[in-house]
RNA sequence: UGCCUCUUGGUCUAAUGGCAGGACAACUCCCUUUGAAGGAGUUAGUCGUAGUUCGAAUCUACGAGGGGCAACCA
């Protein structure tokens, strides 16, 4: 046992191995990571993997993590996104050491550019974007030098200063690194460092009309902050050569970049561009639509930070492409909610039961535990009387063998109440069952059952007289295929148009009236629910977070 | 017909030249006043070929397959 535990502790992911090696060799005394979102959209579950890795690693090894907004493209970025990103990170349970912005470094980055120019490592190119693309070559053919490549450092500096001063039109000139147009790595074929944009920046306003590209901002920002381990996703592997090139030419602190495989989850999409499309084209109600894989969407739906953190921990960190089953995330949501959610009974599709031997006009208060998993969670009162609702699907006229619910002559327990016997089904002119007549066993009351009866089924129910009508929103996967991004054609062709199911009126036990926005509920035999942001005291609205595991539904499919 | 990168049960992920293990899923059984939760168990894997080695998931070579790279995006 002891050995087994040791064995588990020894198992490190590749980033932990690198960090432990760096710490053991004395390369670093402590580590500093960073989470570098671009404020051009809301964070999604993929980002939460990155957040858990960056903050988690720092926490594990006694280091720190900076939050740095990668705000080098004023056209797409906005302060609204900055605020949502900060809220989401805190909600996940992490706190950053410093809040920085790449735009804080614009003056320094500008000096870095001048240094490269003076060293002969960068030049101003007057080519149009089409001309640059044409000379770039292809993955299998080398590119060709730009006709402006051999300008003198003096000429380049003069031109670059004038670019900064706004003397040239947007798009008319760029600053490029002078590396190698024949490099097998396309990124190294004289990459663009700066472009002219007369756009308003969310922080620097109109101060700058040149903006650094990602490759000339990110690594240097890491270096300025003395980030020890700069962790990013696989698509930046080819950029690492340029990352190192810039640091070397500039002679600045050598931050190191390491790459891991981004998170993919089936039946959804995981790119801000695609999520933005879903929002803009009204396929969803917004970034925080409960069907969205955004952190704000999952929060609204009722997912918990712990569930997401446990999920991130369990999926691990590696360099293999992956497509994780959404069921795994749901497992962690259930696991957390099972321990914390308050139990309530709610009937979605009511069928009236008259308990014919229960005195008319009598009501008794039964006690129901708030959470059987939590000793000190207390109880709530549940009224019981002659007329109640049960779930329509819990009655069958011709039940199959293993149907442990209601049918003529069958007995079931009403949760927290009595065992009843179903005697008669009342039908309307069309043959639809309108109500059931049952009798109860007085000595079978929950907690003081002396009937000696054993029943196989237990049903949830509500007392009709004080049932509270509530609205319930149920969600299904947003897409009909496992990996919409990899399908032929537009990913939007695969949207599941039945992903939202509205139950305008469900009937809840009276205790539901005390529901608070931050509380999580388990509606017995239904699933986990929480109040939606659109809920009001006049009309309670619940989101279904995730259903309970349903062995019966599985049995029926066979 | 370039360069980079990856390949372990259905899905993720361990193994660091020495017994292929865990989680989810699936299945069976037990338990049950939630067909939930819980408990016990079962099924199932190293992309291929050759080599190195006493011994290869791990090292080497070749091959196959997946992903990425030609935005004044990050």
pLDDT in tens, A343-362: 999 999 999 999 999 999 99
Q: If you count them, how many residues does chain A have? A: 558
Instruction: Please check whether residue A473 is in contact with residue A502, taking contact to mean a CB–CB distance below 8 angstroms.
Output: yes
Topology of domain A346-460, CATH: Ribosomal Protein L25; Chain P (2.40.240)
- The CA–CA distances, whole Å, from A193 to A114, A225, A253, A289 equal 11, 20, 19, 38
Amino acid A8 CA to nucleotide B22 C1' distance, rounded Å: 9
Could you report the per-residue pLDDT of A81-108, keeping only the tens digit for each? 999 999 999 999 999 999 999 999 999 9
Matching fold, domains A9-262 and A346-460: no
A330: nt with nearest C1' to CA: B24
What are the residues whose beta carbons fall under 8 Å from the beta carbon of A128, sequence distance 6 or more? A171
Q: What is the CATH number of domain A272-342+470-557?
A: 2.40.240.10
The pLDDT value recorded for residue A401 is 87
Could you report the per-residue pLDDT of A290-339, keeping only the tens digit for each? 999 999 999 999 999 999 999 999 999 999 999 999 999 999 999 999 99
How confident is residue A375, by pLDDT bands cut at 50, 70 and 90?
confident
Instruction: Give the phi and the psi of residue A217 in degrees, each rounded to 5.
Output: -120, -40
CA angle in degrees (0–180, nearest 5) for A215-A41-A499: 135
In angstroms, the CA A227 to CA A30 distance is 10
The protein footprint on chain B, as nucleotides within 7 A of a CB, is: 1-8, 10-16, 23-27, 33-38, 66-74
Could you report the per-residue pLDDT of A438-454, keeping only the tens digit for each? 999 999 999 999 999 99
Instruction: Please check whether residue A44 is in contact with residue A268, taking contact to mean a CB–CB distance below 8 angstroms.
Output: no
**Chain A window 160-189, residues with Cβ within 7 A of nucleic strand B:** 170-174, 184-187
Closest CA to A296 of A86, A8, A517: A86
Domain ranges of chain A: 9-262, 272-342+470-557, 346-460
Instruction: Give the phi and the psi of residue A64 in degrees, each rounded to 5.
Output: -135, 165
The pLDDT value recorded for residue A4 is 36
Instruction: Give the phi and the psi of residue A495 in degrees, each rounded to 5.
Output: -65, 135
**Chain A window 221-280, residues with Cβ within 7 A of nucleic strand B:** 234-239, 261
Q: What is the CATH number of domain A9-262?
A: 3.40.50.620
Q: Quote helix, strand, coil % in chain A, to nearest 5.
A: 35, 25, 40
- Compute the mean pLDDT over every residue in chain A, rounded to the nearest whole number: 96
What are the residues whose beta carbons fall under 8 Å from the beta carbon of A356, sequence distance 6 or more? A423, A437, A438, A439
Residue A3 has pLDDT above 60, yes or no: no
A552 touches strand B (CB under 7 A): yes
Find the catalytic residue in A86, A197, A262, A352: A262
Could you report the per-residue pLDDT of A7-52, keeping only the tens digit for each? 345 689 999 999 999 999 999 999 999 999 999 999 999 999 999 9
A553: nt with nearest C1' to CA: B35
Find the catalytic residue in A38, A335, A369, A435: A38
Amino acid A11 CA to nucleotide B15 C1' distance, rounded Å: 9
Cα A216 off chain centre by: 30
Could you report the per-residue pLDDT of A485-533, keeping only the tens digit for each? 998 889 999 999 999 999 999 999 999 999 999 999 999 999 999 999 9
Closest CA to A506 of A462, A537, A441, A557: A462
CA angle in degrees (0–180, nearest 5) for A162-A168-A171: 125
Residue A236 has pLDDT above 80, yes or no: yes
Find the catalytic residue in A164, A189, A256, A272: A272
Residue A5 has pLDDT above 80, yes or no: no
A322 touches strand B (CB under 7 A): yes
């Amino acid at each position: 046992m002891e050995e087994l535990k040791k064995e588990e502790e020894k198992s490190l992911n590749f980033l932990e191995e690198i960090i432990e090696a760096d710490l053991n060799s004395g390369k670093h005394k402590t580590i500093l990571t960073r989470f570098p979102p671009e404020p051009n959209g809301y964070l999604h579950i993929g980002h939460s993997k990155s957040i858990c890795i960056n903050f988690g690693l720092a926490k594990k090894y006694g280091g720190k993590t900076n939050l740095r907004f990668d705000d080098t493209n004023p056209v797409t970025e906005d302060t609204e996104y900055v605020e949502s990103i900060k809220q989401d990170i805190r909600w996940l349970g992490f706190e950053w050491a410093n809040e920085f912005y790449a735009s804080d470094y614009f003056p320094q980055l500008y000096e870095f550019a001048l240094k490269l120019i003076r060293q002969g490592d960068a030049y101003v190119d007057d080519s149009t974007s089409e001309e640059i693309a044409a000379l770039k070559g292809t993955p299998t053919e080398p590119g060709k030098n730009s006709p402006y490549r051999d300008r003198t450092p003096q000429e380049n500096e003069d031109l670059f200063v004038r670019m900064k001063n706004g003397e040239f039109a947007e798009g008319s000139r760029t600053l490029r690194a002078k590396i190698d147009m024949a490099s097998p790595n396309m990124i190294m074929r004289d990459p663009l460092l700066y472009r002219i944009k007369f756009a308003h920046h969310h922080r620097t306003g109109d101060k700058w009309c040149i903006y650094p590209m990602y490759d000339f901002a990110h690594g240097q920002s890491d270096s300025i902050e003395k980030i020890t381990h700069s962790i990013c996703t696989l698509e930046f592997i080819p950029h690492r050569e340029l990352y190192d090139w810039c640091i070397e030419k500039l002679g600045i602190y050598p931050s190191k970049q390491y790459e891991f495989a981004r998170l993919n989850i089936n039946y959804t999409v995981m790119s801000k561009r695609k999520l933005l499309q879903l929002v803009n084209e009204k396929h969803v109600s917004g970034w925080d639509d409960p069907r969205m894989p955004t952190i704000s969407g999952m929060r609204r739906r009722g997912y918990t930070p712990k569930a997401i953190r446990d999920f991130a921990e369990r999926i691990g960190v590696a360099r293999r492409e992956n497509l994780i089953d959404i069921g795994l995330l749901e497992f962690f949501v259930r696991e957390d909610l099972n321990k914390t959610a308050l139990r309530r009974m709610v009937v979605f599709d009511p069928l009236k039961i008259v308990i014919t031997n229960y005195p008319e006009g009598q009501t008794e208060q039964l006690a129901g535990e708030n959470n059987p998993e939590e000793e000190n969670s207390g109880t709530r009162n549940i009224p019981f009387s002659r007329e109640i609702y049960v779930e329509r699907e819990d009655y069958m006229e011709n039940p199959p063998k293993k149907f442990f619910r209601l049918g003529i002559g069958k007995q079931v327990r009403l949760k927290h109440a009595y065992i009843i016997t179903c005697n008669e089904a009342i039908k309307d002119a069309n043959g639809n069952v309108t109500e059931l007549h049952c009798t109860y066993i007085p000595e079978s009351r929950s907690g003081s059952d002396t009937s000696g009866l054993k029943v196989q089924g237990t049903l949830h129910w509500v007392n009709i007289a004080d049932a509270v009508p509530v609205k319930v929103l149920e969600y299904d996967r947003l897409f009909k295929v496992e990996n919409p991004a990899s399908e032929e054609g537009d990913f939007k062709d695969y949207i599941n148009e039945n992903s939202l199911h509205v139950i305008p009126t469900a009937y809840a036990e009276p205790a539901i009236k005390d529901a608070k926005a931050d509380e999580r509920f388990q509606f017995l035999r239904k699933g986990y629910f929480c109040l939606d942001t659109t809920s009001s005291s006049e009309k309670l609205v619940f989101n279904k977070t995730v259903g309970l595991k349903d062995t019966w539904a599985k049995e029926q499919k066979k």
